[in-house]
């Protein structure tokens, strides 16, 4: 019943060339780093067969795999939390969201899914919550408990060390707060835990923060970055190293790159890959997401690849409704939906929902953007069509990994790029 998801199996680990280059080398941490999910022969202090403490005979929680254990262990390292907290765009958006919904939170019961150090739980307690359940499967929960106690909030904030699938909360909750977003929004698959918490505990009419999330895709040009890794080989100290070009192209960009670009790198308005309504989304919708896109380049430039980014909104349940891609205000052109009116997504008054954005034109966050580079750039003219499809799916190897299947055509030529975001 639980063995099918691989408990006890040690998946083959990919060899990689390892760390990140640059100034940060040697400092531990790195939130949502892809390294954290590369489970191998871990020790399993937390691992248990899900059937051991099965709570609901009709729908036992999914088993905790070796990869999950590695994932939880990674979040036990303080550096990850340090980086997240130091991302002021992120942390202030959450704090502002809590304060904006203070009237709803006051006197209510909250659950914080994946509480980490407990900072969001404490924000909610400060906003007047009656009780906050701070849940985390990582050993960081031990520290969260200490922090709560040191701030004299032990009466209000109850830290539960375990998965939301496994812990017991003996009441329904009014509010779910969670900072679940991974690179490319869905990498890490932590949204599933929010869905689980919602289905287990959220009252009808309750509040989920954030309430919606939108993943975008856009074609990009990035000559400096491309040349830095590729054209570099044409002349190395006077030596012709062009023989390295094929392998350089293959190596440099075979995996998705988490990097910061700016609005100037983006060739068109983005396409909505997925709009997530946290009130209604179901677990099975996350297994595979497919969309067709059609862009019209706004300039003449070499197309070097595509960028993903996302934003999340912190409005109340009343503001949340399922926006289909064709209704989205920020969408690339498609046959049935030409771009004619591009509204801003910035708040213009306090009644508009608060947005945490990781877009290239917004202040950078630790999520940066996720880039898929092409083997060879395509020279596109102004107004040239770039079209194709993208499929994001949970890897069979580890559901926290993401397979990215990108098909793209322009100027009469078509290509397919497969990447795995490990």
Residues 146-165 that bind a copy of itself (CB under 8 A): 146-147, 149-151
What lies within 8 Å, CB to CB, of 263 at 6+ separation is 359, 360, 361
Tell whether residue 13 is a contact of a copy of itself (CB under 8 A). Answer: yes
Please give the Cα distance from 212 to 311 (Å, whole number): 8
**Residue 179 is among the residues annotated as catalytic for this protein:** yes
The distance of closest approach from Cβ of residue 344 to a copy of itself in the complex, given in angstroms and rounded to an integer, is 28
> Could you tell me which of 194, 208, 206 has the C-alpha nearest to residue 283?
194
Q: Please give the DSSP secondary-structure letter assigned to residue 391.
A: E
Locus of tokens 């497919």 = 290
Tell whether residue 22 is a contact of a copy of itself (CB under 8 A). Answer: yes
**Residue 188 is among the residues annotated as catalytic for this protein:** yes
According to CB under 8 A, which residues from 42 to 71 bind a copy of itself?
42, 70
> Could you tell me which of 401, 322, 418 has the C-alpha nearest to residue 37?
401
Selected from 73, 136, 174, 387, the binder of a copy of itself by CB under 8 A is: 73
Selected from 49, 96, 259, 362, the binder of a copy of itself by CB under 8 A is: 259
According to CB under 8 A, which residues from 80 to 119 bind a copy of itself?
80, 82-83, 85-86, 91, 95, 117, 119
The pairing of beta strand 173-178 with beta strand 202-209: parallel
Quick one: 153 or 197, whose CB is closer to a copy of itself?
153
Tell whether residue 27 is a contact of a copy of itself (CB under 8 A). Answer: yes
Selected from 49, 96, 255, 277, the binder of a copy of itself by CB under 8 A is: 255
Q: Please give the DSSP secondary-structure letter assigned to residue 149.
A: H
Quick one: 34 or 294, whose CB is closer to a copy of itself?
34
The token pair at 413 is 């030529």
The token pair at 229 is 């890794």
Tell whether residue 35 is a contact of a copy of itself (CB under 8 A). Answer: yes
Tell whether residue 229 is a contact of a copy of itself (CB under 8 A). Answer: yes
Tell whether residue 24 is a contact of a copy of itself (CB under 8 A). Answer: yes
The per-residue DSSP string of 78-125 comes to: HHHHHHHHH-HHHHHHHHHHHHHTHHHHTT-EEEEET-TTSHHHHHHH
According to CB under 8 A, which residues from 342 to 371 bind a copy of itself?
366, 368, 370-371
The distance of closest approach from Cβ of residue 382 to a copy of itself in the complex, given in angstroms and rounded to an integer, is 30
Tell whether residue 29 is a contact of a copy of itself (CB under 8 A). Answer: yes
* Cis peptide bond prior to 21, omega within 30° of 0: no
The distance of closest approach from Cβ of residue 162 to a copy of itself in the complex, given in angstroms and rounded to an integer, is 19
* CA distances for 356 relative to 92, 317, 364, angstroms: 9, 17, 11
Quick one: 112 or 387, whose CB is closer to a copy of itself?
112
What lies within 8 Å, CB to CB, of 85 at 6+ separation is 91, 117, 119
Catalytic residue chosen out of the listed positions 83, 165, 179, 387: 179
Please give the Cα distance from 416 to 104 (Å, whole number): 48
For residues 276 and 244, the answer to whether their CB atoms sit within 8 Å is no
Selected from 240, 264, 285, 361, the binder of a copy of itself by CB under 8 A is: 240
Locus of tokens 């570099």 = 232
Q: From the centroid of its chain, how far is CA 75? A: 15
Phi, psi of 289 (to 5 degrees): -125, 125
Tell whether residue 21 is a contact of a copy of itself (CB under 8 A). Answer: yes
End-to-end CA distance of the chain: 27
Tell whether residue 30 is a contact of a copy of itself (CB under 8 A). Answer: yes
The distance of closest approach from Cβ of residue 42 to a copy of itself in the complex, given in angstroms and rounded to an integer, is 5
Selected from 89, 169, 252, 298, the binder of a copy of itself by CB under 8 A is: 252
Tell whether residue 17 is a contact of a copy of itself (CB under 8 A). Answer: yes
Catalytic residue chosen out of the listed positions 165, 188, 313, 387: 188
Tell whether residue 409 is a contact of a copy of itself (CB under 8 A). Answer: no
> Could you tell me which of 377, 186, 400 has the C-alpha nearest to residue 274?
186
Quick one: 78 or 167, whose CB is closer to a copy of itself?
78
Catalytic residues: 179, 188
């Amino acid at each position: 019943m639980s063995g099918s998801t691989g408990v006890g199996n040690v998946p083959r680990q990919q060899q990689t060339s390892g760390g990140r280059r640059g100034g940060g080398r040697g400092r531990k941490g790195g939130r949502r780093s892809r390294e954290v999910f590369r489970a191998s022969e871990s020790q399993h202090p937390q691992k248990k067969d899900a059937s051991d403490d099965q709570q609901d005979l009709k729908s036992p929680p999914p088993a905790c795999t070796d990869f999950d254990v590695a994932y939880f262990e990674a979040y036990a390292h303080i550096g990850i939390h340090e980086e997240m907290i130091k991302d002021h765009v992120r942390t202030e958006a959450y704090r502002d969201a809590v304060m904006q919904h203070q009237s709803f939170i006051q006197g209510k019961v909250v659950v914080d899914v994946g509480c980490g150090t407990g900072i969001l739980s404490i924000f909610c307690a400060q906003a007047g919550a009656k009780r906050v359940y701070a849940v985390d499967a990582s050993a960081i929960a031990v520290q969260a408990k200490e922090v709560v106690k040191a701030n004299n909030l032990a009466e209000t904030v109850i830290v539960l060390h375990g998965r939301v699938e496994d812990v017991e909360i003996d009441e329904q909750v009014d509010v779910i707060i969670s900072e679940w977003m991974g690179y490319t929004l869905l990498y890490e698959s932590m949204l599933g835990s929010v869905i689980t918490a919602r289905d287990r505990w959220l009252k009808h009419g309750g509040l989920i923060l954030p309430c919606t999330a939108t993943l975008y895709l856009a074609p990009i040009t990035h000559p400096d970055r491309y040349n830095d890794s590729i054209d570099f080989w044409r002349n190395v100290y006077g030596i012709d190293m062009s023989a390295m070009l094929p392998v350089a192209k293959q190596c440099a960009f075979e995996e998705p790159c988490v990097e910061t670009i700016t609005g100037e790198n983006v060739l068109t308005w983005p396409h909505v890959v997925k709009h997530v309504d946290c009130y209604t989304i179901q677990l099975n919708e996350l297994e595979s997401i497919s969309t067709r896109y059609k862009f019209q380049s706004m300039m003449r430039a070499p197309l070097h690849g595509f960028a993903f980014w996302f934003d999340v909104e912190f409005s109340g349940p009343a503001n949340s409704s399922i926006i289909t891609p064709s209704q989205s205000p920020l969408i690339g052109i498609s046959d049935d939906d030409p771009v004619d009116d591009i509204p801003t997504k910035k708040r213009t008054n306090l009644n508009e929902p608060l947005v945490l954005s990781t877009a290239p034109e917004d202040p950078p966050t630790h999520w940066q953007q996720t880039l898929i580079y092409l083997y060879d750039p395509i020279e596109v003219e102004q107004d040239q069509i770039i079209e194709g499809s993208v499929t994001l799916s949970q890897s069979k190897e580890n559901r926290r990994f993401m397979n990215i299947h990108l098909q793209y055509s322009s100027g009469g030529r078509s290509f397919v790029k497969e990447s795995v975001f490990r």
